[in-house]
Amino acid sequence: MSRAGAAAHCSTFLNEAACYAGSQSRFAWWQRRAGFDRHYGFHQLRHSAVTNVYRASRDLFLAQRFARHASPLTTVVYTHPSDEEMYDRVRDLLC
């Protein structure tokens, strides 16, 4: 469900802030139950999802559409290489 759809759904029962807080509370409860060693927020989950789409596809515009960003410049934040990726790329350079 889109954020706008979720907001419309929530506004029929509660105000949007209460619905969002309830979702955050359930997400935090799930993390504790799953044994996570630290709490992750919704934005961190979103960031990980967009990063994984980019890493799997290497397609900035696909990741941009997935994230629903208006500009690819916003999506560039999600394209940071991991230490392993950086090592693999630099190792193969001729010096």
Instruction: Write out pLDDT tens, residues 68-86.
Output: 999 999 999 888 888 888 8
Would you state the torsion angle of the CA atoms of residues 51, 55, 59, 63, taken in this order, to the nearest 10 degrees?
Answer: -20
The Cα–Cα gap between 28 and 20 comes to 12
pLDDT one-digit tens code per residue, 54-68: 999 999 999 999 999
| Cα atoms in the 13 Å half-sphere on the side-chain side of 81 | 8
pLDDT of residue 14: 54
Specify the pTM: 0.62
